[in-house]
Structure 1
């Protein structure tokens, strides 16, 4: 079947790039934008099947990733934003990162419409109709899952003008296919959008935002102007650990425990 498609980022023409077996059985066409280099699949009809489990069995790096990002988020917030404000983790999964960041003093909340909240119960924000604003929105390993990235970023901007996120940029030194780039992950069926630096810059321009990147994994869309060099430095885990250690805050663990305990006591007396 021939598909008439345009780039989901910049609306330019796309061309066929390669095919891959998604979920080991669906023969899927991948396209690349002739303008910004963004890669996308054909219409992802297999997503209900792919999300029968929100966290796939291949995502064995979930805990490692959150441990890695914890000091980076902390150092970014303390360097560029109001550390006393509220924050939200978009696509927050089991709530691991939210709990970790609350444990080191950041008032973080979670938004995820697909995954059960295990570790950050009582800190969900899922109603977009409620006008709640947050200083920073984090979205780690979310963008590659987005069927309509521009619409989803518009939803994120309801929460915050500052979006700190991770997604692997498309390699520039090799041809892309499932044999050369692990991040395509057709086995899971959940990765359907793949970004270049140019495509993320197009996204930033569309929303009138500034774009900062470490050139590989970590990126920031923001209304603020910050130091690109400092941003790249803070993306290094060891440097972020140093900054977090110097400016560590008071844990919310005890406060959260007492507040949740009080809430449970009230519910049981109704």
Structure 2
């Protein structure tokens, strides 16, 4: 934040990197989403078609889903428009696009969990990742998330993803860190690049999983397996009180 000198520590066992106790967070989160996050819209546009095919290939399309740390609710709205019953969870950010679809509005029971949890650009913000993962797993045993793994071949203090200007990226991961997390919670880890990762109880085909990142395959697959009916009209009726 251009005002604090902060120490970073790396675990010699799992290679997890974390700042010292982040005493500056209250100040850094005066705006939950910083002005430097100019990729927010592009990120939602990128992940909507990927998650759509991910669900149709490996999960149940008629279940409920949750976007953890869902920010303004844009991703939830986009997925609901595609027919997927998404809800938003976020403690810090105003819900603009999915106001009526926060997790708090969904009456769940211990046995009625969500089929899939998404968490885009959340893990690097976590002060206590293990504790937060336990919360995520209380929602779903399937977690699809994005966080950029740090490189081993450059000075990390010059790495763009550190973003010290915002003071919000306090936890950084390597593949070894994610493997440690997967083992701790008895989950399978699937990472086909340094950005996107899936933790799940399911054992998937690596080849099939990697296909969700190929646009031509997604187009072909969507012709073969249609998405559920859009929830846009039903949501409008619910919010407006109009029955049709």
Give the TM-score taking structure 2 as reference length. Answer: 0.93
Q: What's the offset of the Cα at 1:243?
A: 3.2
Secondary structure of the 2:100 match is: coil
Matches within 5 A, 1:135-174: 135-174=115-154
Supply the distance in 2 between the matched residues of 1:209 and 1:239 (Cα, whole angstroms): 27
Q: What CA RMSD, in Å, does the superposition of the two structures yield over aligned residues?
A: 1.9
Say yes or no: does 1:221 pair with 2:199: yes
Q: What's the offset of the Cα at 1:45?
A: 0.5
Q: Which of 44, 49, 54 is 1:76 aligned to?
A: 54
Mark the CA change 1:228 to 1:71 in structure 2 (over 3 Å): closer, same or farther: same
Q: State the match for 2:26 in structure 1.
A: 48
Supply the distance in 1 between the matched residues of 2:28 and 2:219 (Cα, whole angstroms): 36
Q: What's the offset of the Cα at 1:148?
A: 0.2
Say yes or no: does 1:109 pair with 2:84: no
Q: State the match for 1:133 in structure 2.
A: 113
Matches within 5 A, 1:251-262: 251-262=230-241
Supply the distance in 2 between the matched residues of 1:127 and 1:148 (Cα, whole angstroms): 26
Supply the distance in 2 between the matched residues of 1:236 and 1:49 (Cα, whole angstroms): 41
Q: State the match for 1:85 in structure 2.
A: 63
Q: How many residues of Structure 1 are paired with residues of Structure 2 in the alignment?
A: 240
Give the TM-score taking structure 1 as reference length. Answer: 0.84
Q: What's the offset of the Cα at 1:117?
A: 0.3
Q: State the match for 2:98 in structure 1.
A: 120
- Larger Rg over CA atoms: 1
Instruction: Give the number of the structure whose residues are more often strand, by fraction.
Output: 1
Task: Render the CA deviation track for 1:194-234: whole Å, top value 9, x for unaligned.
Answer: 11111001001101111111131110111111112222231
Mark the CA change 1:193 to 1:242 in structure 2 (over 3 Å): closer, same or farther: farther
Mark the CA change 1:143 to 1:257 in structure 2 (over 3 Å): closer, same or farther: same
Mark the CA change 1:209 to 1:104 in structure 2 (over 3 Å): closer, same or farther: same
Supply the distance in 1 between the matched residues of 2:173 and 2:88 (Cα, whole angstroms): 25
Residues 72 and 241 in structure 1, CA contact (< 8 A), matched pair in contact too: no
Task: Render the CA deviation track for 1:56-96: whole Å, top value 9, x for unaligned.
Answer: 00001100000000001001001110011110000000000
Residues 128 and 158 in structure 1, CA contact (< 8 A), matched pair in contact too: no
Mark the CA change 1:239 to 1:202 in structure 2 (over 3 Å): closer, same or farther: same
Supply the distance in 1 between the matched residues of 2:32 and 2:220 (Cα, whole angstroms): 34
Give 5+ residue unaligned stretches, structure 1. Answer: 1-22, 266-270
Task: Render the CA deviation track for 1:23-80: whole Å, top value 9, x for unaligned.
Answer: 1101001111112211110000000001000000000110000000000100100111
Task: Render the CA deviation track for 1:232-264: whole Å, top value 9, x for unaligned.
Answer: 23134554454345434221101111111118x
Supply the distance in 2 between the matched residues of 1:234 and 1:72 (Cα, whole angstroms): 6
